[in-house]
Amino acid sequence: MTAISLKGVSHTFETRRTKLRALEDIDLEIGENEFVTLVGRSGCGKSTLLRMMAGLLRPTAGQVEVGGQAVTKPRRDVSLMFQRSALLPWRTVIENVMLPVEILRLDRRAHRTRAEQLLALTGLEGFEDRRPNELSGGMQQRVALCRALVHDPSVLLMDEPFAALDALTREELSLELQRIWGEERKTIVFVTHSIQEATLLADRIVVMSPRPGRIARILPVGADRPRSLGVTAAHDGELDRVGAELHELLFAREPAGVPLSLQEPERNR
């Protein structure tokens, strides 16, 4: 079943003096409970695409659908997580997690229980009454993840959520997100510049061409889950194979010396 559908989606940013084509003719279908990563050079329109899925930006052409309905504004069943946690410093951990519940005017008692369960799931049990400045950067992003999930959205959009963290914390949270997704089973679209993150997390990797962003290639990742990193990882070389192909797409010229930006985009199923 399709959770997100993009049909002929293009977007142009316009000012009085200039026009900038950010995206052009994007066709993509994302299945229910699928984990998809978006990868491409800076400026290729990954974040723009995510914001259109979230209803924060309208496409210049084409249509974005979630659950078979056109996206024309933000939806309560779609949650967006940014690169920085953006926690409110005067609120406690549990109060930050509960913020969407207050905004959406949901049942506080039921969602308080869910908030506590999510904090326990992410290893933050016992930190409910702490303030953000008492937490590490990785812990703050865990709180932001709990906040994004507390109202039980069907779709979670993640815009480089671990990019500002150190390498070890980033790897730890990537593994943690994989585990949480295995339990929560949301449709996740995850923007990243990291080849390692993309291959570890994704069912499919959508490779974007340089601006104007197009879908240059879609790479399926066939490795079994749960996945791990390092020399003890047993995936029959699948993650290494996909990672090598992704690296070649992003940094080399192919086929026959043709730059990625000039290749014919592939259509998804």
What value does the mean pLDDT of the chain take? 88
Q: CATH topology for 2-77+153-262?
A: Rossmann fold (3.40.50)
Closest C-alpha among 33, 71, 18, 34 to residue 49: 71
Q: How far, in Å, CA of 109 to CA of 126, rounded?
A: 19
Contacts for 30 with CB less than 8 Å, ≥ 6 apart? 2, 3, 4, 5, 36, 187, 189
pLDDT at 235 (0 to 100): 58
Residue type, 177: L
H/E stretch holding 201 reads: helix 195-201
Q: Please state the domain extents for the chain.
A: 2-77+153-262
The percent of residues above 90 in pLDDT, for the chain, comes to 67
User: C-alpha angle 130/134/137, rounded to 5°?
Assistant: 115
Dist. CA 162–CA 133, nearest whole Å: 18
Residue from 182, 205, 184 nearest 38 by CA: 205
Token digits of residue 162: 């671990």
Q: What is the rounded CA–CA span in Å between residue 99 and residue 92? A: 11
Q: Other CB atoms closer than 10 Å to residue 178's CB: what's the count?
A: 16
pTM: 0.89
Q: How confident is the model at residue 251 (pLDDT cuts 50, 70, 90)?
A: confident
CA distance 218 to 268: 7
Contact 44, 34 (CB under 8 A): no
Which has the higher per-residue pLDDT, 257 or 74? 74
Per-residue pLDDT tens over the stretch 225-244: 888 765 445 556 888 899 99
DSSP 255: T
Residues 6+ apart with CB under 8 A from 68: 2, 5
